[in-house]
Amino acid sequence: MKKIGIIGLGKFLPKKVLTNADLEKMVDTSDEWITTRTGIKKRRLVAKGEATSDLAVKAAEEALKDAKLKPLDIDLIIVATITPDMPFPATACFVQEKLGAKNAVSFDISAACAGFLYALTIAQQFIARGNYRNALVIGAEVLSSVTDWQDRNTCVLFGDGAGAAVLSEVKSGGILSTYLGTDGSKTGLLFIPGGGSRNPVSRESMSHRMHYIKMQGNELFKLAVTIMASAAQTALKAANLECKDIDLVIPHQANMRIIMAMAKKLGLPKEKIYLNIDRYGNMSSASTVTALCEAVKEGRIQKGDIVLLDAFGAGLVWGACVIKW
């Protein structure tokens, strides 16, 4: 069995910072409410005209440099996103062109906040089967384009950003297990009702603000804690490991309280949890990979460490992955 691992990481966060104080001027909220309920202090937003592929390309360039590979070495690009540049073609096609990665088969996947883990698992299978050698797996989002800036229940939560990983065969370590799950009975908890084939864009869809995120936060909160804890246990079991073997958890960054409740369920101390939610908020598919990139660059992950990636999102979808670094 081939060992497949991450050989390079990159991230890109747009320049503009939106703080909780800025949000206080836009909706009826407070820094105190946002901080205590979510752990978020600020988030990044794109400039006018900046799209998901622009962020993805910058993250990908950094990941390629880190992996010491050239664009032409890449033969597979998967972009996980729920905010593509356009309904079609795939954002991955724009990324391929801008990178000059002419040899890469390129496509998008839609698995919301678990998107990076879904894409990572797909890429791992292709490389293990020998179809491709070097894959670029990207999580990139411009959530500000689908956020209702008049809805205080949601607008305080999200941010824009991108992260990228290069996957390849490795000599030691690598991905030890992956686990994915879906529960389509709960699509109504987090969704964008308008703009697709169900409710195409119309004057009516616009006036009902149907092209923005709708969310039942409370229900999602409880499900996220239970599902992320159980996904972690399933992936660990598949790798023949236990919670005590984990050196660092990279959780999806949706809410600090969700992450801490999950850690408590698993009996993990807070020192073993990587957090960047305070700086960026929830960036959906970009959250986990950006956090992984920062954790590695800050020296929080060393060779030989056991790292657990764990994510949950709209669908519902979830995924966990155990990697030996």
Q: Which residues are catalytic?
A: 113, 252, 282
Residues in binding contact with ligand COA, number by CB under 6 A: 22
Interface with ligand COA includes 254 (CB under 6 A)? Answer: yes
User: What minimum distance in Å lies between the beta carbon of 267 and ligand COA?
Assistant: 22
Strand, helix or coil at 278? helix
Under the binding rule (CB under 6 A), the answer on residue 191 touching ligand COA is: no
Contact mark string toward ligand COA, 103..132, x via CB under 6 A: ----------x-------------------
Piece of the chain touching ligand COA by CB under 6 A; list 61-69, 160-168, 216-224, 299-307? 216-224
Q: Which of 173, 192, 221, 241 binds ligand COA (CB under 6 A)?
A: 221
CB contact at 8 A, 286 and 158: no
Which of 220, 275, 296, 320 touches ligand COA by CB under 6 A? 220
Among 228, 243, 229, 225, which Cα is nearest to 311's? 228
How far from the centroid of its chain's Cα atoms is residue 260's Cα? 18
- Rounded to whole angstroms, the Cα distance separating 229 from 231 reads 6
In the complex, the smallest distance separating the C-beta of residue 42 from ligand COA, rounded to whole angstroms, is 14
* Sheet of 160-169, strand order: 4-12, 160-169, 135-142, 76-80, 105-109
314 or 322: CB nearest ligand COA: 314
Distance between CA atoms of residues 76 and 74, nearest Å: 6
Per CB under 6 A, the list member of 3, 16, 29, 98 interacting with ligand COA is 29
**Helix 217-238 with 256-266: angle, nearest 10 deg:** 40
- Note whether 313 binds ligand COA by CB under 6 A: yes
Closest CA to 270 of 280, 284, 256, 283: 256
Determine the Cα–Cα distance for residues 40 and 280; give it in Å rounded to an integer. 7
Interface residues toward ligand COA, by CB under 6 A:
29, 33-34, 37-38, 113, 152-153, 156, 190, 215, 217-218, 220-221, 224, 254-255, 258, 282, 312-313
